[in-house]
Amino acid sequence: MKKLLFLFIIILQPTFAYGLIQVDITRGNLDPLPIAVSPLHVDANSKNFKDIKVNKLGDKISEIIEKNFKATGLFNPLQKDSFVQKPDIAHLKPRFEDWRLIKAQALVTGKILVKDDKLKVEFRLWDLTASKEMIALAFTTTPTNWRRVAHIISDKIYERLTGEEGYFDTRIIYVSETGPKDKRVKKLAIMDQDGANTKYLTLGNELVLTPRFNPANQLVTYLSYFRNLPRVYLLDIETGIQEVVGNFPGMTFAPRFSPDGKKIIMSFAKDGNSDIYTMDIESRIVERITDHSAIDTSPSYSPDGKYICFNSDRSGLQQIYVMKSDGSDVKRITFGKGLYGTPVWSPRGDLIAFTKVRKGRFYIGVMRVDGSGERLLTENFYQEAPSWSPNGRVLVFYRETKSGPQGKGFTAKLWSIDITGYNERKIATETDASDPSWSSLLSK
Amino acid sequence: MIKSLFFSIAFHTIMILLTILSLPFMIREPVDLPPIVSVELIQITDKTNIPYAPKARKVIEKVKEEEKRVVSEQAPPSAKAKEKPDKIPMPDEKKEKKEIVKKKQNPEEIKPEIRQSSEFEKKEIIDTNQIAALIDKAKQDEALTQKTDSKITQSNQKNSFATGLTLSQEDALRAQIFGCWSVPLGLPYDEDLLVRIKLNLKKDGTISKSEILDHERMNRPGQKFYKILAESALRAVRICQPLKVPPTGYDKWKELQLNFNPSEMLKG
């Protein structure tokens, strides 16, 4: 009987078996990642090269990396005063727990050696929370290239931490503007994406407009007026060689490369009607893409080359349309209030950037390629011509200020903004600037 | 014998008839309940702890004493039992502020002022430590506790049965990790990127072991984004430790799985 009772108790004994607790984490923070960029250690065997002082190079490179990171808004480079280890020792093996004390989550260390007229730079990125090395690379180049080395290091770290390609080793071409508003001198200028190393590519005796980088290489196409006739030019930045692609009748607008760099797409007026045309760079064969009585302008290819977005007033007001690259299947994608223009397809392929004009105000915005999810990123008195960074994360555009009664106070400057709508920044240029175009990565 | 058989048949017939007649009334239309929105709870007892009227205090103390007596007669109260069961670890004020600022970036998110709170959560906010003492006894018994929870969070049974954490405990933990996780914004939002991390925890909430469940995916070619997401998730839990786990029920949460999925956030 006792046994039976015991068995009975055992059976009725409540048993608890807990499954593994699962918690879904669907949100995180957008706070910039605290990162410590230690000055690069200069090897004692290094020798000065021309006017480059080697002992300062380590600090300068780390400063450029910090500046690049700060400009992204995604990283928070920590003050160097709080650093707890000397650069040479940290580069061998950091004391992770000490670096964690200053709230750093990642650490960049490096070493420089200038010998036999060559600059050798190595760097390491450390994950301080996991106490391990994330990436280690070395570069050898001529010492004059030290700024590019800093940008390449920034790109590698950015890619390792965010998952997307960096955009620091890139350049921006733009139209430099000087002089009063009614007598502007416009030159073609190029600079590094951080505003350094500005060079002027034309003399300013001809009007230049809408320079655009080839996404595949360092060729640039732009429009210039020669004896009041628009001409489309090709310019090789590496060699400085310039050639005329063609003379086009009437108004010609905004030539732009196809993603493979083999074609130029543009709009020009034939018989008083603007339509979209492509031209093969090799064969110079011109092909008509749209044939409509309305004005079709500002074409831009999708990164796979299968679609083209453009703006047209075929519905009465200027709106954005998408079609297949052969001109078929035209679909209107914007239906909002106001006018839409200058559509540019993101290099990532997921968004189209545009300029919107509504009630006398200008907006730069992005939307999905089907026209949904429109987000206006910035609003101002006058701004337009967005151009994508090669990773599709940042837009550069130009903004003009209102001039005073005597035409004074007018400025045109380049600005950049993140696609989240945060982190709007003015890019320092030597002169006034307009019509920017961002290059692809130089080190690709 | 025949008499009792007759009674039995009659009784059973009545029962069956009653059942047949009453069944249609028992089937009701399912109540269309609004979905329970998870709300971060802030312990405001310290600020809103209004002293009881002397009469009410006496009653409460009397009840408390009786409870103690009952407990001591059965078994000496364990150390765990003394702890206030609804003392929920909450994120500190600073992190709360950050959360609100972040919401600016996502206009689709529900604003704090229109956040919906369930009846259960409202109760939790009103609950004071004194009232909590009254239900101490019930909370001592794990089985009973589970039963109570299941009644209250009916649409969230997963939280109480499957996970062993209450909705508010889970929210507290989630809120803590939100604050620590810097989401790599370069990730594509249209890819299936779910990182599952299994943690072995010590009693104080520190991590004794962390393991990525799909570890082999990290080193596969073409899984660069997965690796970056997994690393960021690991960084988050390491920065966050000690995790804000409930003071009781260690056996339930000593092993914990966190599923990191940033797709909602990346879609914007």
More confident residue, A403 or A96: A96
* Same domain for A93 and A202: no
| CB of A340 closer than 8 Å to CB of A318 | yes
Cα of A221 to nearest chain B Cα, Å: 30
Mean predicted confidence (pLDDT) in A153-179: 92
> Is residue A92, in this structure, part of any structural domain at all?
yes
Cα of B265 to nearest chain A Cα, Å: 6
**pLDDT of A262 strictly over 80:** yes
pLDDT of residue B69: 61
Residue of A18, A129, A162 lying closest to B251 (CB–CB) = A18
CA–CA separation, B240 vs A100, rounded Å? 13
> Is residue A265, in this structure, part of any structural domain at all?
yes
pLDDT tens profile A277-293: 999 988 989 899 999 99
CA–CA separation, A275 vs B159, rounded Å? 61
Nearest alpha carbon to residue A377 among A402, A403, A396: A396
Encoded tokens for A55: 């002992």
Chain B residue with CA closest to A19: the answer is B162
> Is residue A17, in this structure, part of any structural domain at all?
no
| CB of A99 closer than 8 Å to CB of A128 | yes
**pLDDT of A112 strictly over 90:** yes
**Alpha helix ranges (H) inside A28-117:** 54-72, 87-92, 96-101
Nearest alpha carbon to residue A25 among B1, B252, B233, B110: B233
Mean predicted confidence (pLDDT) in A408-422: 86
Encoded tokens for B65: 């004493």
pLDDT tens profile B40-54: 555 555 555 555 555
Encoded tokens for B132: 């909590």
DSSP β-ladder status, A21-25 and B255-260: parallel
* Same domain for A175 and A157: no
Cβ–Cβ gap B228/A163 under 8 Å: yes
Give the position of tokens 């280890």.
A85
**pLDDT of A313 strictly over 80:** yes
pLDDT of residue B250: 85
Q: What is the dihedral of CA B120, B125, B131, B133, to 10 degrees?
A: 90
| CB of A80 closer than 8 Å to CB of A39 | yes
**pLDDT of B134 strictly over 70:** no
Mean predicted confidence (pLDDT) in B2-7: 89
Residue of B174, B187, B257 lying closest to A163 (CB–CB) = B187
> Is residue A27, in this structure, part of any structural domain at all?
no
Cβ–Cβ gap A30/B105 under 8 Å: yes
Residue A421 belongs to what H/E stretch?
Answer: none
* Same domain for A143 and A84: yes
Out of A383-387, B158-162, B224-228, the most confident range is A383-387
Cβ–Cβ gap B177/A20 under 8 Å: no
ipTM: 0.71
Residue of A21, A29, A421 lying closest to B252 (CB–CB) = A21
**pLDDT of A10 strictly over 60:** no
DSSP bridge partners of B211: B198
pLDDT of residue A436: 94
* Same domain for A413 and A300: yes
Is the N-terminal amide bond of A347 cis, ω within 30° of 0? no
Quick one: DSSP state of residue B250?
Answer: H
| CB of B232 closer than 8 Å to CB of B240 | no
Residue B183 pLDDT grade (very low, low, confident, very high; cuts 50, 70, 90): confident
pLDDT of residue B264: 79
Burial class (CB in 10 A: 0-12, 13-18, 19+), A293: exposed
> Is residue A226, in this structure, part of any structural domain at all?
yes
Q: What CATH number did the domain enclosing A179 receive?
A: 2.120.10.30
**Alpha helix ranges (H) inside A124-233:** 146-162
Nearest alpha carbon to residue A213 among A253, A258, A152: A258
* Same domain for A106 and A175: no
Nearest alpha carbon to residue B268 among A334, A374, A390, A396: A374
CA–CA separation, B228 vs B213, rounded Å? 15
Burial class (CB in 10 A: 0-12, 13-18, 19+), A47: exposed
Query: What is the side-by-side order of every strand in the sheet holding A425-427?
Result: A382-388, A394-400, A412-418, A425-427
pLDDT of residue A420: 81
**pLDDT of B126 strictly over 90:** no
Cα A279 from chain centre:
26
Domain that holds residue A349: 171-437
Count Cβ atoms below 10 Å from residue A391 Cβ, excluding itself: 22
* Same domain for A226 and A180: yes
* Same domain for A257 and A227: yes
pLDDT tens profile B142-156: 444 444 343 433 334
* Same domain for A189 and A92: no
* Same domain for A181 and A152: no
CA–CA separation, A364 vs A386, rounded Å? 7
Q: Looking at A243-252, A289-298, A323-332, which range is the least confident one?
A: A243-252
CA–CA separation, A437 vs A378, rounded Å? 18
* Same domain for A226 and A123: no
pLDDT of residue A386: 94
Listed by number, the residues of chain B in 248-267 with a beta carbon closer than 8 Å to a beta carbon of chain A are 251-253, 255-265
CA–CA separation, A274 vs A279, rounded Å? 16
Query: Mean pLDDT of all residues in chain A?
Result: 88
pTM equals 0.71
Per the structure, the count of domains in chain A is: 2
Largest separation between any pair of C-alpha atoms in chain B: 84
**pLDDT of B129 strictly over 60:** no
pLDDT > 90 fraction of chain A, expressed in percent and rounded: 52
* Same domain for A345 and A327: yes
Cβ–Cβ gap B228/A29 under 8 Å: no
pLDDT of residue A48: 81
Count Cβ atoms below 10 Å from residue A12 Cβ, excluding itself: 7
Rg (CA), chain A: 27
Q: Is the dihedral of CA B180, A85, A153, A238 positive or negative?
A: positive
> Is residue A25, in this structure, part of any structural domain at all?
no
Mean predicted confidence (pLDDT) in B19-32: 69
CA–CA separation, A112 vs A31, rounded Å? 32
